Amino acid sequence: QVQLKESGPGLVQPSETLSLTCTVSGFSLTSYSVSWVRQPSGKGPEWMGRMWYDGDTAYNSALKSRLSISRDTSKNQVFLKMNSLQTDDTGTYYCTRALPGYNFDYWGQGVMVTVSS
């Protein structure tokens, strides 16, 4: 069955870089795109960016200067790197599979990231 699982540090120091990994199973990264979505506590989700099935990427312009998404298809993994973290980057980070367009049909369990010294 389709599964996505995020992994990475739960605590990041201000100004440092966040690195997260999304490991997928049950589908191919060359057939489906994967997006990263984050959600501050008590707020609505925010789309961060996307790795297309063909290897292309798209980013939210609000984060583009700090964000990089890449993949390793041999390991079924998609990576997120975001630099210059601040306290308002605190929240739960999800990776999601997208149907054609931007309909997110499967989500990982999420990883809680706290930015604090």
Partner 1 sequence: DIQMTQSPASLSASLEEIVTITCQASQNIGNWLAWYQQKPGKSPQLLIYGTTSLADGVPSRFSGSRSGTQYSLKISRLQVEDIGIYYCQQASSTPPTFGGGTKLELK
What does the binding site for partner 1 look like in residue numbers (CB under 8 A)?
Answer: 43-47, 58, 60-62, 94, 99, 101-105, 107-110
Instruction: Pick between residue 10 and residue 44 the one whose CB is nearest to partner 1.
Output: 44
* Of residues 6, 23, 35, 15, the one with CA closest to residue 112: 6
Q: How far apart are CA 28 and CA 10, in angstroms?
A: 27
Least distance to partner 1, CB of residue 50, Å? 8
Instruction: Pick between residue 16 and residue 46 the one whose CB is nearest to partner 1.
Output: 46
Least distance to partner 1, CB of residue 111, Å? 11
Instruction: Pick between residue 16 and residue 59 the one whose CB is nearest to partner 1.
Output: 59
Q: Are 8 and 18 in contact (CB under 8 A)?
A: yes
- String of DSSP letters for 17-40: -EEEEEEEESS-TTTSEEEEEEE-
